[in-house]
Every structure is written in C-alpha cells, then in structure tokens.
Amino acid sequence: MLREKILLVDDEPGLSAYLEEVVREEGFRVRKVQSATEALAALEEEAFQLIITDLRMPEMDGLELLRRVRERDPQLGVIVMTAFASLETAVEALRLGAMDYITKPLHVQEIQVVLRKAIESLELKRENRRLKAKLSAETGEPKIVGSSQESLALMELVRRVAPSDSTILITGESGTGKELIAQVLHHYSDRARGEFVTVNCAALPDTLLESELFGHRRGSFTGAVRDKDGLFKVASGGTLFLDEIGDMSPALQVKLLRALQEREILPIGATKPVKIDVRVIAATNADLESKQQTGEFRPDLYYRLSVIPIHIKPLRERTGDIEELANFFLSRSCRKLNVAERRFSPEAMNKLLHYGWPGNVRELENTIERIVILSDSEVIGVANLPERLGGVQGPSTAMAHRVPASRTLDEMERAYLLQVLEESGWQKKKASEILGIDPSTIYRKLQRYGIKAPL
C-alpha cells in the first residue's frame, strides 16, 4: 500500500525536483506546487499528512502559509526550509507550530532524518487520538470530542458556564451537536444529580406542547382523565432542554417567558401557579434575530433565553475534529453492534476529511454506523465508503450482500428512509440534511411510500 502524501511548496523548480526525489525514495507520494496560494488550493482538493514549504516565497511567504494551515487543520504537520543565515525565521516558524526545519543547501541525510522524525511523531499523535476516541466511546459520559481550536474554545466556555444557573441559548446548524452540549452542561453543573429532560418544540402541535411543558389538571380538556405534571415539574432540580425553540408559537412563547421570569408555571386548567426549580437550556438552528424582525419570535424571550449564548460551528469549519470524531463513532458503533474493533485506512480517512458533511456530526455518526454494518473487513478502506464520499461501493451494491434478492430498490429505499427518519426524531428537515436531499423530496417520498409519522 502506498504511504501517505506529502505536499512540497517551493518556487525554485530545481530545488523542488531534488526534494521530490528524496521524499519519493522514502516511499511517499508527492505533490508539488510553486506558491503558498497553490498550496492552500491543493489542501482543498485532497488530504496530506505533511507539508514541506520554503519560507521565502513571493506574494505569501511560508510563515503566513503556516499560520493559515494551522488555523485550518492543527493536526497537519509542517516542515519549513530556510537558509542557514535565516535561522531566526525558522525559530519563529517553530513558535507558530512547525514541527521542524531543514536548512539550505539541502542534504539528503538531514532531509531523511527530519522527515522520518516528523512522520513518526504524526503517526504517534494519530494513534493517541484514536485511543483517546476509543476510551471516550467506552465511558458513555457526555463529552465534547475534538481537538480543533474551535472545539477547545467551546470546551473552555462550557466549563466556565456549566456551574451557573443562567439560561443558555445554543445555536448552530442541524446535526452540529446542540443537544450534546446541553447534556455536557448539565453533567458538569450543580444540577447533575437531577433529571435532564428534553423536548423538541418542532415535533409537537401547539396544544400538546403546552400540556407537555406545563402539565394539566383532570377535566381541563377532552381526554384529560387525570392530573399530569409538565416537563418543567418533571425536571425539577435538574435541566430542561428546549430543542428547536425557534418553532414555538408566539402564544406559547408568552407562557414560556412568564415561567422564566416568575419561576412558576400555570398548568392547563389550574387556578394556582406552581413554583419551579429548573435550569432551562434552549437550542435552535433558526436565525432568531431575523424571526424577531418578522414578529415570529419575541425579543423579550430571546434576551431572556440568551443570557449565555453558545454557537457551534458546522463541521466543515472545524475539519480538525473529523478524524477524532470518526474514530470515536467507529469505536462506539463497533461496541454497539458487538463487532470486532476496526480502523480506517489512511486513504479512507482522507476521503472523510475532504467531504463537506452538510448534515454535520450527525451525518458523520450515521455514515460510520452504516459503514460498520455493511462492511466485514478489519480495515475500512475507500471501497467501504458510500459513493458520495468517493467510495466505489454505493448503497445498492453494498446492501445487495445483506438483503434478499426479492427486495426491490423501492423497498430498500423505503426502509432506509424510515431508518433515517427514526434516527432524526421524524424531523424531516434534519432527515433531508442527513440524506443530502431537498426537504421537498422527503415529502414526495413519504407520499409515494405511504409513510406517516408515529402518533
């Protein structure tokens, strides 16, 4: 199997050709570019384990390239080349995160030693991340997985605000892990011994959501045969997580605002308010500021909810987390499905790193579980990946080995659609993002296959 790829960045063709020859003799694949701009473009096209770059180049120098590479992917190794008289610049590069430096004029032995040392260090770090992800998957505790600058900053923010009792508003695209952040906040709060109760505000009709949140008294409406505590009461002493808060009706927003302000609720049919002791964390993928402009969301409720705002960036903006997340989900899926431990080949991991993940972390998690189900090999290669990730085995061919020949493509599609809908809590927008199709297509397929959401 070919070893991983190294990107060479140098504007001197002769020097670049010499370096390429030495690196290839070490068994690595090589791509050469002549400028930092070309290097950044190459990083968008494919994955590299290591970059070797000259420091002195026109337009954008090697230090600026290093800064941008570190921002994009902190786990990508960088070696810089510098003239002996410019060692101060090399030291600055090390301070910025370069792994090592090579001095000019180039010597074969120095290149070999520095290259081997860097590769060994990168492989050790990769194995440490894999083992860390495996251990995280085994503990079962809610935790933020990832070592990117964005995730580290998020962890620090969560650590600081978890002990507080203030309301928190978590924003971010579908699938970014908003509920997980809420669970982590609860886990590290003073309310950790209490219940963590979640409700999806978009999944229930308005009247049913009101009853779920605030409870009701017997006889308050048809079918109310007994008193029922609402989730505010159930979560007493703990945390209530209101997912998709942006879909709550204006009428219900008024009642929620009163509950937050007065720390009491009025169950449907009740005449006396009930005191509550609960921390509220809300989440949305909607633009609540725009909804305020259109009158769909109350400004006073927005300010009451967003005492502490937390925004989660999409996975495509924190690609440094993908490898660790992929290994975490791989270990967890293997345990869940009771199969032997598996690992990704470098080529397969490169494909994961360069996919856009429109469904974010949820799509990554579901994709990896599906890969584990459909593959038997210990090492997951490119052939085991879905076609959309650049794999050669698409859904129909992959499933053909595990479904009866009598099942039609429509039957298989219907089954897969049902699976994704169940995993997304029957939220059609989320399901469409996981599947990578337009929401209108989801509705058409539901009608076509006669699929109805459970009551």
Least confident span in 131-145, 179-193, 371-385: 131-145
Q: Longest Cα pair distance anywhere in the chain, in angstroms?
A: 89
Q: Name the nearest CA neighbour of 111 among 185, 26, 30, 173.
A: 26
Predicted confidence at residue 1, as pLDDT, reads 38
Other C-beta atoms lying within 10 Å of the C-beta of residue 225: 8
Other C-beta atoms lying within 10 Å of the C-beta of residue 2: 9
Higher pLDDT, 132 or 451: 451
Check: CB of residue 420 under 8 Å from CB of residue 367.
no
Tokens of 183: 């669970």
Predicted confidence at residue 213, as pLDDT, reads 94
Predicted confidence (pLDDT) per residue in 36-84, tens digit? 999 999 988 887 889 999 988 888 998 999 998 888 777 789 999 987 6
145-159, 300-314, 367-381 — most confident range: 300-314
Other C-beta atoms lying within 10 Å of the C-beta of residue 208: 10
Residue 214 to residue 229: CA distance in whole angstroms: 7
* 238 has a pLDDT exceeding 90: yes
Residue 260 to residue 245: CA distance in whole angstroms: 14
Residue 343: strand, helix, or coil: strand
Predicted confidence (pLDDT) per residue in 95-152, tens digit? 888 999 998 888 898 999 999 999 888 888 777 766 665 655 555 567 888 888 889 9
Residue 441 to residue 216: CA distance in whole angstroms: 38
Check: CB of residue 156 under 8 Å from CB of residue 150.
no
Angle, CA of 89, 91 and 95, to the nearest 5°? 115
What is the DSSP track for 6-74? Answer: EEEE-S-HHHHHHHHHHHHHTT-EEEEESSHHHHHHHHHHS--SEEEEES--SSS-HHHHHHHHHHH-T
Residue 102 to residue 79: CA distance in whole angstroms: 7
Domains, the chain, in order of start with CATH, read 5-132 (3.40.50.2300), 149-315 (3.40.50.300), 329-449 (1.10.8.60)
pTM, full prediction: 0.64
Residue 119: strand, helix, or coil: helix
Residue 199 to residue 213: CA distance in whole angstroms: 8
Cα 432 to the center of its chain, rounded Å: 17
Check: CB of residue 319 under 8 Å from CB of residue 149.
no
Tokens of 145: 């997985």
Predicted confidence at residue 412, as pLDDT, reads 63
Check: CB of residue 259 under 8 Å from CB of residue 276.
yes
Predicted confidence at residue 394, as pLDDT, reads 44
Instruction: Specify which residues 19 forms β-bridges with.
Output: none
